[in-house]
Amino acid sequence: MVALGKNDLLGKFMPADNPDFIQVKSGIESDNEHYLRIEAAKAWEQMRLSALPDNIHLKLVSSTRNFDRQKQIWENKWSGQTAVNGVYFTEHNPDNTTKAKEILKFSAMPGTSRHHWGTDIDINSVEEEYFETPKGKDVFRWLKVNAPKFGFEQPYTAKSDARPLGYEEEKWHWSFMPLSKVFLRNYMRQIEYSDITGFNGAELAEQLKVIPVYVFGINSLCR
Ligand SMILES: [Zn+2]
């Protein structure tokens, strides 16, 4: 991999135009807008195929998201166009710090998402309810046993003494470690709060300590 610059770490590029990325099969018919870094894409495809004989159907529901896409997600929640944990915000309610903390239970500030890196994927559903169904439980069980064989780990494990900070558990989010460890190291070295800007609520990034709490508040296997 070539040296990583700030734009790679902050998601400021178009995956379709970046030669380090390739389009991947999501496993969902006619859903072709998924890109990953080449090594992560190969590992995903191998994992998807190897699950089939076990009657486990893995589908990508999210892959690389650039800064602009994350900004759209974040600001739709901020402005009340998208519900946040079941609630639609209004302009003055709740206050901005509460808004940011609520959104941060499951969504990253633009510039701080692992989805910018082209190494991380969401599998089958981004709802905990799905993973409570018999099918969802089978999928999660299969991933816990098998995903590490393909280089994938779950960064947002259940909150515990070992992972007290950061996002709530995401059973759908898996990270291709051989690459994402390199990205995390580079992120810690290169990115400062002055780089996290350009969206509603960006001024709260430092106060909420988003770099140590959310970027680094992950499963220790992912560091
Ligand atoms: Zn995710």
Give the model confidence (pLDDT) of 27-58 as tens digits.
Answer: 887 677 899 999 999 999 999 999 999 999 99
Length of the chain, please? 223
In the chain, % of residues over pLDDT 90: 95
Residue 109 counted as domain residue:
yes
In the reported structure, the alpha carbon of residue 180 is separated from the centroid of ligand 1 by a whole-number distance in angstroms of 13
Residue 65 counted as domain residue:
yes
What's the rounded Cα separation, in Å, for the pair 211 and 166? Answer: 10
Residue 44 counted as domain residue:
yes
Q: What is the mean pLDDT of residues 65-85?
A: 97
Helices (H), the chain: 6-10, 38-51, 67-78, 96-103, 128-132, 134-146, 177-190, 210
Q: What pLDDT, in 10s, does the model give residues 136-188?
A: 999 999 999 999 999 999 999 999 999 999 999 999 999 999 999 999 999 99
Count of the separate structural domains present in the chain: 1
Residue 20 counted as domain residue:
yes
Q: What is the mean pLDDT of residues 78-97?
A: 96
- What one-character DSSP code corresponds to residue 174? E
Residue 196 counted as domain residue:
yes
Q: What is the mean pLDDT of residues 98-122?
A: 98
pLDDT above 80 (res 2): no
Average pLDDT, the chain: 96
In the reported structure, the alpha carbon of residue 34 is separated from the centroid of ligand 1 by a whole-number distance in angstroms of 13
Between the CA of residue 71 and those of 60, 107, 111, 190, what are the distances in Å? Answer: 21, 11, 9, 21
pTM, rounded to two decimals: 0.96
In the reported structure, the alpha carbon of residue 54 is separated from the centroid of ligand 1 by a whole-number distance in angstroms of 24
Give the pLDDT of residue 3. Answer: 85
pLDDT above 70 (res 90): yes
Output the six-digit token pair for 52. Answer: 């089939």
In the reported structure, the alpha carbon of residue 173 is separated from the centroid of ligand 1 by a whole-number distance in angstroms of 5
Domain limits for position 116: 6-222
CATH no. for residue 191? 3.30.1380.10
Residue 106: which residues within 8 A CB-CB, separation 6 or more? 85, 126, 167, 168, 170
Residue 152 counted as domain residue:
yes
In the reported structure, the alpha carbon of residue 190 is separated from the centroid of ligand 1 by a whole-number distance in angstroms of 22
Residue 1 counted as domain residue:
no
Give the pLDDT of residue 1. Answer: 64
